[in-house]
Structure 1
Amino acid sequence: MKTAGRPAWSAPSPKSPHTSGRSETLTASCRPPSARSGAPSTSRKRPSRSRWTGRERTTMNRPRRILPLHAKLAMGFSLLTVAAIGITAHLYYQSTKAMLRQDIRNRLHDAVAIGALQVDAAAHAKLTAPDQEGSPDYLRLKKTLQRIRDAGTDIRFVYTMRQDAQGNIVFIVDAEESEQDISHLGDIYDDAGDFLEANFAAFQSATAAENFYTDKWGTWLSGYAPIYAPDGRREAVLGMDISADNVLAQERDAFRRVLVIFFGSIPVSGFIGWLFGLALTAPISKLIKGAEQLSNGNFNYRIKIRSNDETAILAATFNQAAERLGGLVARLEERVEERTAQLSRRTSQLQAATRVARQATAIRELPQLLDDTVRTISDQFGFYHTGIFLTEAEGGFVSLQAASSEGGQKMLTRGHRLQIGEQGIVGYAAAQKRPRVALDVGEDAYFFNNPDLPETRSEAALPLVVRNRVIGVLDIQSKQARAFSPEDIETFQTLADQIALIIENARLFEEMNLAVSQLERLATDRIQQAWMDGGRAGSHAYQYTPAGIQPAFRAGDRDDQLIVPILLHNQKIGEIAAKRSEGDWEAREQAMLAEIAAQVALALENARLLDEARQRAIHERTVGEVVSHIGAAHDMDAVLRVAAQEIGKALGDSEVVVQIRAEELEAK
């Protein structure tokens, strides 16, 4: 609309009289006719829009209470009804709103299109300079625009525009008469919006803006139509602003009607929903009472509902379920007691197995480990006999290494052994790598009748397997027949696996200790030999006196001296001899000398290793130089000559002969 000081909104903006411009975007400005060009004005800013961030929500702490089902159903029915009415009312309101707005757009479109046809394009083309504003053509066109404005309903501003040579949109003729409202010929529309600036040159037919824009003077809608000359050339663009206040008033009336319908439906739907909830929840209340009786353990309670709907079927099903549940609970109680006893026994076994494994883990020596393990198993589980067989190195037999019973000790004394795969269930378990159980030894063909264990009634042999290799067998015997259940065997096999790992770790520990001892012995011998060789090379001894430091002979053992050995890997490679004229050596001084001796040993060893590395580097460099000189020779004589020369130099000007003895080759 052709006003000034308009806030920014997302709609085509009309011409701004203050700036003699027109806008089609959200940032257009408008002001009332009283503030049009010719009078000083102040710039206006878009009013800030408040945004609801949801911080207005509050939390109400309410005591927890049970909401009756009929109330929930009533609320649900009411909410659904109100929601349906609300959606219908909303759709009605949106439809009415869209229809009203489309109607005003159509009227504006038709008005601006008809108005463009009434403008004399030829006379309009003659208006090119501001001084032509009072010319007959200008006045005639102005009256035409005034007739167009007055002929329409709610039309406020009518004006024409064109682009100058610089591409600016300028006003040509304005229907306004007041000096404060009029836009003069040649005024630049410097407040044109993005829409108008982007599409001004492309207008080929009448166009009405999509959105309204609102300011403090009202709500407006703008339309544009091209003005064509007789030769088909577009001469200018006709602009028209129409008031939309009447449309908004109709929209508000429609909105009030929608609100009346919506809020009026709330109490009606609530009352109907309440009656509906009560009718539905009567049989459900009976079902709830029956469920409460059932939860309290009253399985004899029955529900009576006299109807032909689903609630009667549900009641009958409930009664059948209660009868079956009573019998099921009785059977479950019996099974729970049995299962509890089994779990208690299983827990005791696992705890005992854990104690056995924990005690065995703390032992490093293999004989003591085996002996303590078999005794702990017998004590924890109460077995008649427990023994551990280990596979012999040859692999064909397993020999008893530890036993907990008196008969087992006799077997150990005579070296009891069984052939793998041939004798007893122990040999079978070792061959098959899986547990073997004899629940009744009198009926088991694999049982080995041992006179040292006459009271055995059942036996279980569990292989000790490490990395798919059998290293032995755990043998357990009981005085009771069928003393081992599948769960027991599973527990004992887990224990056997742990014992196998412990035994293997003990073996590996012994082997590691042996290897470490051998390595330490080799390192000690090598260090001892190296220092013996270094000692033969010369005497290394220095003495400090008040006169200073000087070479000295090796110190001997004297009563008035403190002798501190210099130890390297427990090998004495030297000593520190200290002497004082008066007083004894304090323990603190002796400890300090011992620490210094240890550091001196490390420093001497580092120096020796550095000297060895240096000698090795000289040796390798010398050999490399000799080989490089020999490699430079190209015939046999030169090779022999260079070899003799370089070897002699490398050996300290020694006499060296390098020759080929062909007669020795012939002799061979």
Structure 2
Amino acid sequence: MSVKPDFAPSRDQTSEPEVRPRLRTRAAVGFAAWSLLLLVGFIVGVARFAVGPYLSREIRGRLRDEVALAALSVDVETVARLVADEPQTGPLYESVVAQLRAARDRITGARFVYIVHQGADGKIYFVADAEESPEEVSLPGSVYDDAGPLLRQVVGSLASPGVEEDFYVDQWGTWLSAYAPLRTADGTLVGILCVDLDADNVRSQESAFLRLGALALLIAAPLAAGGGWLLGRNLTAHLGALVTAVERVAGGDLNFEIPLPPEAEAAQLAAAFNVMTRRLRELVATLEERIAERTADLERQTAYLRATGEVSRVAASLLDLDELLSQVVRLIPERFGFYHAGIFLLDESREWAVLRAASSEGGQRMLARGHRLAVGAQGIVGYVTQTGRPRIALDVGEDMVWFDNPDLPETHSEMALPLIVGGQVIGALDVQSRDVGAFRPEDIRTLAILADQLAVAIANALVFAQRQEAMRELQRTYAQDLHRGWSDFMAQLSLRGYRYTPRTLEALGKGGDGVSAAPLTAPRVLPDNTLLVPVMIGGLELAVLQVRRPPNRPWVDEEISFALRTAQELAQALESARLHQEAQRRASQERLASEIASQLRRSLDVTTVLQTAVAQLGRLPGVAEATVHVTLPDSVAPAAEEVSS
């Protein structure tokens, strides 16, 4: 925005006494004309060498800020899907185009707004374009051959918003372009938002100052020199003082003022010049304040983005629910400056919002006593968990829904955001501040994004916990089946192992020698130099390898490792043998069952069927007797037939 101050002095502005012209009319007119021309040349020179460069920097800084804010309004996840699934027109593409057009309307002077990404072949491809004209729109998937120098350099690694150093020319015209990265929650660069400003629009602002300064200087320099020569030597000293003042001000010393000379005309000129320098000081101070405010806003937005990224990384990297919630409620107060953050999750009945994590001391007391709020009945959290809509109380004393919590007496502002997954509310993120009106629009937008990411992370953690519990249950079932199978298998064995000596290889019966030590989990060397190595499968000890050697030959790590590998191979072999015998036993039972069924189907006589059944059951291993009893209901005359074999 340009500022055109009025430099004409007045009695209120200058505070200098009123002076009246005393020179002849001709000299007064000539002095006023040449002085005015000199002042015009001075002002244009300042505009050319001071305001012009600042205007150029201001235009580029504003463009960089606006493209950074526009990138925040783009749905990056949708862009990632368009890039991953090959860009094509459709609902996702139209939604992104609508976002680009809205961003284009907000950016001053923007002509083209579009998204590009770098393909696997290194080329730059269009993803979406806000242009409505069929002749000028860039179709998704088309190659962008006329990209600017900065875009070609950083298309695969852009870390922060940037602006081209100079204008560049492509088939559509001459442009000043700015770029902002589009990154997903995990930091992956999926595309770059590009904004093109027409060079004529930018140059017209800069050229106006250049033309005016050049014209004024060309006219003012010779005329001022001639006027000074004509006015005579008596004005040389005052003109020299004025030139010195101009040089001081042009050099940046806006605090310099000309002392008022005794001559009335010279005093009036000095007063006007001093008023001009004061106005320039005010203008520069105003511009500096605007720059400071813009810088502070940008730094705050950068800090919010950095904090959001940090919380998102924590949410994406943790699968333990309690640790995830604790880390998030710790980071939010640290990064955003709020004194309390809490996370509520709905119970299985969906009637209560239960506090699961909190950052403040009062929140810890609430956790210790199992604090919970009724859904739809208590406080802002109850409202949010029922409706699924955010609720913000900038002054809790005036909010009818607010719950006065004695554990958080310092609260003056509160914001609760729903945690929603798959269209269903699973809880709420509650943030509280000691200040009235503490939540600004950028706070709300940032925390809303964070709440959505947190909801997905909580859902993932819950799914992970369920899978872990299922895995543990599966492991317990496997261990029980394994123990039962080996118990049955060992009961059928008539021996308990073998002993090898250089002279013999003998079997150990059930009453033979064995190792009476406690169960082993790792190899161990006894004081008599006997090595014990457990033979284990699935955490179950099947046997123990016992190897003894003379005390003068201690065991080394390589030998112990060899014995351990041997035990592992033995465990696998024993398990394979057991499973083989189990399979054979089951196959034998299946064959026997099939034979019994075949025998039973051969006769329709009841007596023959019963005799065949008990006879076949008697063939089972270890069966000493088999009997079948026929039992009739009470309403039938009692009768029974017993057939034995």
Bigger relative contact order (CA 8 A; separation at least 6): 1
Normalised by the size of structure 2, how large is the TM-score?
0.49
